[in-house]
Amino acid sequence: MSQYTVTIQQITSAIDTLTQLNSEFKTATSNLETTEGQLCSMWEGEARDTFDAAFKKDKTQMDNFYNAIQQYINVLTQAKEKYLAAEQANTETASTRNY
């Protein structure tokens, strides 16, 4: 069985990096959507409709990807918070023990 050792700093760094990259992805997706709208306003016909439909299908996948990464960030954040709460409880227990 494989085992991984991860520090809280590594988890925090991963959360920060993923949040930044996901934000950049969302901005790029929004820019693509704006450009697609501008392109569609420049011509009409079946080619335009086909292009628009294909883009909208791709945009759905882009949104799904963004949401999946956001959910992963949320899971990492929850894991970090649970770890920190357990660490604090353990520290309090250890510091209040009596002999």
What confidence tier does 96 reach under pLDDT thresholds 50, 70, 90?
Answer: confident
Give pLDDT tens digits for 26-78.
Answer: 999 999 999 999 999 999 999 999 999 999 999 999 999 999 999 999 999 99
Q: For residue 79, how many other CB atoms are within 10 A of its CB?
A: 14
pTM score, two decimals? 0.85
Q: Is the pLDDT of residue 99 over 90?
A: no
16 pLDDT band (50/70/90 cuts)?
Answer: very high
* CATH no., domain 16-87: 1.10.287
pLDDT given at position 94: 87
Q: SS3 sequence, the chain? A: CCCCCCCHHHHHHHHHHHHHHHHHHHHHHHHHHHHHHHHHCCCCCHHHHHHHHHHHHHHHHHHHHHHHHHHHHHHHHHHHHHHHHHHHHHHHHHHCCCC
